[in-house]
Structure 1
Amino acid sequence: MTQYARLYGGSLYDLAAEENLTDAIGEQLKEIRVIFRGNPEYVKLLCEPSVPKNERTKLIEEAFGGQAERYLVNFMKLLCERNLLGEFAGCCEEFTRRYHADHGIAEAVVTSAVALSDAQLSALKVKLEKISGKTVELVQKLDVSVVAGLRVELEGKQLDGTVQARMSGISRKLNEVIV
């Protein structure tokens, strides 16, 4: 994340907190980020220097003006005017980071070979909330190289209960044995 993303995303969060709009703007940021990911040509157009800035900001107004919070629309127009719309994803990350810090939320990335059931995810969430003392949001990733077990990243710590990690541990111990 760049310094611009931290500055602008943090400023948007401060404004949203002042106006009691953190939940609404946070949800809308997620939705707009999905739209931008699905329409890279649109983002490229909004970043195109050959298109006058007033036309680019008009496109943002037409697309989001009637649906998103006014502060968020103006924020995107500001990024566009300053040729920083490429920092939008980083701004979203900073906004989310600040929101999580203020609301006692921790994000846990769970990596497994197969998708976990809702019951498994729920049980894991309860255990991770006990460990961290925070509300946990789970993000599930699939990786066939895990083979079996789970790898969880929570607040900069990695809990590795995968077969791969256990095999590596056994291999290390065998290499340490003096024959």
Structure 2
Amino acid sequence: MSKAGDLYGQSLYDLAVEENLSDEILGEMEVVKQIFKENPDYITLLSEPSVPKNERLQLVDQAFDNSLQPYLMNFIKILIEKGLLREFSACQKRFRKSYNEDHGIADALVTTAVKLDEKQLSLLKDKLEKISGKKILLEQKTDPNVYGGVRVDLEGQLFDGTVKGRLSELRRRVDETVI
């Protein structure tokens, strides 16, 4: 994460907590992050120094038309004014990280060769919640290169039960034995 993203994201989070708006602002930040991700040209336009600052700010007003919480709207405008709008994603990550810490939530990335069904995801989520003692937010990713099994990245801790992971471990052991 960038230094500016950390600083600005944490500042917005602190304000949101103080004003009891952390849930609302987090939800809106995730929507805005997705909009920016799907429309990279929009960020380029809002970051373009040749477009007068007041015009860029008006574009944001028109785009979101009072649909965002005023603190978040002003936050986006500050990023535009400071030339830091490209840091919005890092700010959102920092906000989410602080929110998760305060609410006992952990993010987990689950990687499998084929998509898991809802029942499988629910069972995995329950197991991870027992292991971590936290509420788990699961993100699922498919990668045919894992061949089979499940790999979970839970707050930087890797649980690799994939066929590819087992083969790599077996290969490493064989190499150590032979050498």
How do 1:56-71 residues align onto structure 2 when only pairs under 5 Å count? Answer: 56-71=56-71
2:53 maps to amino acid: K
Query: Which residue number in structure 2 is paired with residue 172 of structure 1?
Result: 172
Which position in structure 2 is the counterpart of 1:162?
A: 162
The amino acid that maps onto 2:173 is: K
Are residues 1:44 and 2:44 paired? Answer: yes
Would you say how many aligned residue pairs link Structure 1 and Structure 2?
179
Q: Is the 8 A contact 1:109 1:153 kept in 2?
A: yes
- TM-score (ref. length: structure 2): 0.96
3-state SS of paired residue (2:129): helix
Whole-angstrom CA distance in 2 between matches of 1:174 and 1:111: 26
Cα distance, 1:88 vs. partner? 0.5
SS at match of 2:173: helix
Normalization by structure 1: what TM-score?
A: 0.96
Aligned partner of 1:58: which letter?
Q
**Tell me, which stretches of 5 or more residues in structure 2 are unaligned?**
none
How much identity, in percent, do the aligned residues show? 51
For residues 37 and 87 of structure 1, the distance between their equivalents in structure 2, rounded to whole angstroms, comes to: 12
CA drift of 1:178 comes to 5.7
In the TM superposition, 1:65-144 aligns within 5 A as: 65-144=65-144
Question: Counterpart amino acid of 1:142?
Answer: T
Aligned Cα RMSD in Å? 1.2
- 1:152 counterpart letter in structure 2: V
Q: Which amino acid aligns with 1:177?
A: T
* SS of equivalent residue, structure 1 residue 115: coil
- For structure 1, list consecutive stretches of 5 or more residues without a partner in the other structure: none
CA contact (8 A) 1:65 1:73 kept: no
The answer to whether the 8 Å contact 1:149/1:162 transfers is: yes
